Structure formats: structure tokens, C-alpha cells
Structure 1
Amino acid sequence: MYSQTTRAITVAVLPIYLEDQSEPDDGHFVWAYQVTIDNGGAESVQLLRRHWIITDGLGHVQEVEGPGVVGEQPVLKPGERFVYTSGTPLPTPSGFMRGTYGMRMVSSGETFDVVVPAFSLDSPHGAHSIH
């Protein structure tokens, strides 16, 4: 599991290669990733947007931005946790992702970014590399 804390908000990611949804002979590799967001701060926060940077094994980069995650813009009170699962395909047997969540302090309206740690997407196909 990959984990990083920004301003008392901890984001942990567990990537899982999905063999049953992948077609290695056709250059189609699929991963799920489970994200856990913990509010360790003293104030409620809301996740407003996401920004992902996805890099395949050949170094090609795709950026994905949008409101919330999995159709939600969750509010996390102090001590609360939000968990969701999403996924991504790649044309290569490995790659990595990193990103940020745009957050808002509920009480003051202040916005800030929370770092999503870089995490490796590795399949059992092809050579493995450390990202």
C-alpha cells in the first residue's frame, strides 16, 4: 500500500492487477485501485475534484481531471474515512499513477490540494521496473 499525508489528510492506495479483465496479447492491461482517505484533522473537509497523471510503461502520459471521485464529493468530518475503488487500463504491462485531490475546508471555504502518492501498476506480464 502507498500512503501520503497532506495537512492531516492521509491518502492510501492499494493497486490490484485485474487478470480477468486484461488481454495481454492485445496490449490491454487493467488495474483496480482502492483509495482510502482519512481526515486526521480537526475540521471537516470536502473532496471537490481529482487530478490524475497516468504514465504507461513507455512514458506516455495521460491526465484526467474532474469533479469528485466515483460520482461523489464526500464530506469527511474529523476522524472520518472515505473508501472507494476505481480503475484504469494501460496499453503496457506496467506504469504508474499519481495525482491530487482538490479539497475545501467546510467551515472557512479555504481550498487546498492533497497529494495522492505515486503508485506502481505492475502486472505479471513483461519485465518489472521500479517506478
Structure 2
Amino acid sequence: MVVAVTKGIKVSVEVTYQAEFSSPHQHHYVFTYKVTIENNSQYTYQLLRRKWEIFDAAESPKIVEGSGVVGQQPVLEPGESHAYVSGCNLKSGLGKMKGSYTMEKLFDGNLVEVIVPEFQMIANIFHN
């Protein structure tokens, strides 16, 4: 697990290689990642946008941006957390991701770029 904290917002990421959904001989590797966002600040925040940088050893880096996470724009009161699971397909069994969330502090409308820590995606091709 990797962790980063920005202005009291803690982001933790756990990665799992999905061997049963991958086809290494066809250059198709599937990874899922669980993100937990914890609001350890004294303010209420809403997650508005996400930005991912995806690195695959077999391709050029990609940037993916969009609204919310998995179709949601969660509001986190102080002490609350939000977790979700998403996935990434790679053409190689070796990659990494990092990114950020744009979150609005509802107290004053200020926007904060919350860091999503870099995490590695490494296929266990000897998985049984």
C-alpha cells in the first residue's frame, strides 16, 4: 500500500494483479486498485475531478482526466472516508500510475490538488 497526505486528506492505494482476467500471450494485463480517501482535516471537501498519469512499459505515457471517481463526486465531512475500486489494462506486465484529485473546500470554495501517490503495477506471471 502507498499513502500520501495533502492538507489533511489522506489517499491510500492498494493494487492487485488480476491474473484470471489477463492474457499475457496477447499482451493484456489487468490490474485493479482500491483507493481510500480519508478526510483528516477540520473542513468538508468534495471531490470534483481526477487526473491520472499512466505509464506502461510497452506504450507512451497517457493522461486521463475526468469528473469525479467511478461516477461519483463524494463529499467528505471531517473524519469521513470514501473508498472505491477501479482498474487499469496494460499491454505489458509492468507499469505505474500517479495522479491527483481536485477537491473543493466547501467552507470557502477554495480548490485543492490532492496528491494520489505513485503506485506500481507488476504482473505476477507465475501466478497459479
Relative to the length of structure 2, the TM-score reads: 0.96
C-alpha deviation, 1:124, in angstroms: 1.4
Cα distance in 1, alignment partners of residues 62 and 113 from structure 2? 20
Report what 1:71 is aligned to.
71
**CA RMSD, 1 decimal:** 1.1
Cα distance in 2, alignment partners of residues 15 and 62 from structure 1? 19
Q: Residue 20 of structure 1: SS of its match in structure 2?
A: helix
Cα distance in 1, alignment partners of residues 49 and 33 from structure 2? 17
Report what 1:129 is aligned to.
none
Q: Are residue 23 (structure 1) and residue 12 (structure 2) matched?
A: no
Cα distance in 1, alignment partners of residues 93 and 19 from structure 2? 11
Q: Superposition pairs for residues 48-59 of structure 1, below 5 Å?
A: 48-58=48-58
C-alpha deviation, 1:59, in angstroms: 5.8
What residue identity is the alignment partner of 2:14? Answer: L
Report what 1:87 is aligned to.
87
Q: How many residues matched?
A: 126
User: Deviations for 1:80-105, whole angstroms, at most 9, x for unmatched residues?
Assistant: 00000000000001100000000000
Report what 2:105 is aligned to.
105
- What stretches of structure 1 of length at least 5 have no aligned partner? 127-131
Identity of aligned residues (%): 40
Relative to the length of structure 1, the TM-score reads: 0.93
Q: Residue 71 of structure 2: SS of its match in structure 1?
A: coil
Cα distance in 1, alignment partners of residues 55 and 49 from structure 2? 20
C-alpha deviation, 1:125, in angstroms: 2.9
What residue identity is the alignment partner of 1:73? Answer: Q
